[in-house]
């Protein structure tokens, strides 16, 4: 194959017009860099959002009584896991499981004496829940649940609660205030306790901030008069292992005849899924625009090169090169521009991405959230491949027409060209 014999020629022709080639390479490199930074920013946002929702409340895997996801919303107390401690110890023994924590979610009324509001109460195990909120694998990441005033609940807490910041504002409650919590027991009778506000929190979910409270499970058990819980929340050592561990929990459940359903975080994170889908669409549009700029820049460069080299093209065809060879020569030039520009872009993009990640990009609270945060740039291998592929593909594709035009020149006319 003579094709590869043209490689040195293509390289030298790129060096021939240094200024023009530099500008073209810069355009490609900037395109790749933009793609990497934008994509890396989105990736980082996804990652933070994902870890944020996992550590603030979802955990990696949740276990419910069978039927909960279908009917639990209407009759929450009909779908409770009895004797949760037995399940917890078995699941915590599975590989890659960090901890299992128990929860009950219920509606209650909260009264200051002057104001009474309906709240969503999350009954949790404070010690384990605190471990759940630690995010270890991200730079600049806060724990999922930030305590703004007062203190978090602890193992010793009983008859103490945390208020969401929106809720605290709306009922004008402060740390140390005495409130009354009133709810139905699972038997259906009414029960009320005096509780103290121990702290005020901000979570990634504005909804929960405005209507949520947290209460120790022990207290809630007395309030609701049950030892059963609604869900077991499983935290793993790594998010990427979610599916593996879910499968092993399901296996364990079926061998033990537990009447449970096992849901992984992607099935519970509807909002996250929709945000990711939306951002990915936006990213695709952005990638298309960047690719278009790269295409135009190479198209222009190749067309100029071909006009300038008309006589040269006539000459090489006269001395016995086929039209296909001319096509190959110019396609190779386009390909190499793309390869070089893409490589430059990868280097630039990763360098810039690293700097931005280390310093952190200050961001306003995300939609539905209430906490300011710092974004980084998370450049994945897939993103590198996409950006590089975009450069190579765009430059080769945009060279096709100019190269084809060059290969169709009438030899005699090209030779007479001045």
Partner 1 sequence: MPLIEARSLSKIYMLGKTEVHALNAVNLTVEKGEFMAIAGPSGSGKTTLLNILGCIEKPTEGSVLFDGKNVAQLSGNQLADFRLNHIGFIFQTFNLIPVLTAIENVEFPLLKMPLSKRERRTRAQEALESVGLGGLAHRKPDELSGGQRQRVAIARALVGRPNIVLADEPTANLDHATGLAVLELMSDLNSRLGTVFVFSTHDPKVMSMARRVISLVDGKIVEETTVP
Smallest Cα–Cα separation from 268: which of 63, 47, 57, 58? 58
State the nearest-atom distance from the C-beta of 405 to partner 1, in Å: 16
Q: Which is nearer to partner 1, 23 or 316 (CB)?
A: 316
Rounded CA-CA distance 125/157 in Å is: 10
Burial state string for 298-322 with b = 16 or more CB within 10 A and e = fewer than 16 = bbbbbbebbeebbebbbebbeeebe
The CA-based dihedral angle spanning residues 283, 284, 286, 287, taken in that order and rounded to the nearest 10 degrees? 110
Point out which residues bind partner 1 (CB under 8 A).
2, 5-6, 9, 12-13, 15-16, 311-312, 315-325, 411-412, 415-416
- Residues 48 and 141: beta-carbon distance below 8 Å: yes
Considering beta carbons, is residue 218 or 312 the nearer one to partner 1? 312
Q: How far is the CB of 312 from partner 1 (least distance, A)?
A: 6
**The dihedral of CA 76, 82, 83, 84: what is its sign?**
negative
CA atoms of 294 and 39, how far apart (whole Å): 17
Shortest distance in whole angstroms from residue 403 CB to partner 1: 17
CA distance 272 to 107: 24
Residue 169 or 416: which CB sits closer to partner 1? Answer: 416
Rounded to a whole number of angstroms, the minimum distance from the CB of residue 17 to partner 1 is 10
Residue 77 or 321: the one with the smaller Cβ distance to partner 1 is: 321
Indicate the DSSP class of residue 157: -
Cβ atoms < 10 Å from Cβ of 189: 8
> Which lies closer to partner 1 via its Cβ, residue 9 or residue 292?
9
Q: What's the min distance (Å) between Cβ of 305 and partner 1? A: 12
Q: Toward partner 1, which CB reaches closer, 252 or 415? A: 415
Shortest spacing between CB 15 and partner 1, in angstroms: 7
In whole angstroms, the minimum distance from the beta carbon of 373 to partner 1 comes to: 53
First vs last Cα of the chain: how many Å apart? Answer: 33
Residue 6 or 258 having the CB closest to partner 1:
6
d(CA 358, CA 397): 37
């Amino acid at each position: 194959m003579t094709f590869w014999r043209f490689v040195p020629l293509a390289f030298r022709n790129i060096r021939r017009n240094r200024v023009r080639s530099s500008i073209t390479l810069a355009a490609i490199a900037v395109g790749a860099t933009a793609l990497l930074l934008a994509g890396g920013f989105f990736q980082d946002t996804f990652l933070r959002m994902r870890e944020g929702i996992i550590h603030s409340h979802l955990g990696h895997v949740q276990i419910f009584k069978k039927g909960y996801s279908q009917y639990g919303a209407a009759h929450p107390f009909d779908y409770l896991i009895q004797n949760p401690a037995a399940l917890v110890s078995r699941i915590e023994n599975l590989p890659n499981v960090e901890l299992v924590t128990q929860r009950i979610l219920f509606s209650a009324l909260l009264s200051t004496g002057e104001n009474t509001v309906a709240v969503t109460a999350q009954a949790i195990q404070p010690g384990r829940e605190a471990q759940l909120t630690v995010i270890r694998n991200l730079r600049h990441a806060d724990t999922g649940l930030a305590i703004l005033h007062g203190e978090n609940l602890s193992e010793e807490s009983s008859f103490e609660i945390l208020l969401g910041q929106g809720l605290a504002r709306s009922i004008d409650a402060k740390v140390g205030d005495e409130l009354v919590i009133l709810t139905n027991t699972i038997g259906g009778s009414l029960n009320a306790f005096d509780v103290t506000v121990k702290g005020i929190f901000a979570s990634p979910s504005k909804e929960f901030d405005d209507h949520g409270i947290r209460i120790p499970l022990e207290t809630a058990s007395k309030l609701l008069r049950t030892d059963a819980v609604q869900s077991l929340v499983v935290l793993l050592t790594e998010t990427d292992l979610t599916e593996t561990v879910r499968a092993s929990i399901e296996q364990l459940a079926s061998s033990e005849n537990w009447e449970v359903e096992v849901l992984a975080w992607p099935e519970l994170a509807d909002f996250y899924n929709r945000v990711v889908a939306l951002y990915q669409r936006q990213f695709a549009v952005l990638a298309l625009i960047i690719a278009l700029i790269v295409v135009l820049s190479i198209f222009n460069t190749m067309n100029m090169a071909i006009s300038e080299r008309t006589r040269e093209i006539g000459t090489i065809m006269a001395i016995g090169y086929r039209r296909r060879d001319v096509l190959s020569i110019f396609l190779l030039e386009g390909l190499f521009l793309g390869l070089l520009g893409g490589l430059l872009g990868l280097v630039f993009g990763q360098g810039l991405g690293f700097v931005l990640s280390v310093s952190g990009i200050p961001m306003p609270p995300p939609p539905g959230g209430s906490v300011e945060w710092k974004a980084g740039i998370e450049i994945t291998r897939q993103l590198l491949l996409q950006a590089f592929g975009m450069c190579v593909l765009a430059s080769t594709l945009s060279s096709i027409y100019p190269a084809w035009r060059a290969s169709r020149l009438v030899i005699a006319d090209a030779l007479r060209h001045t």
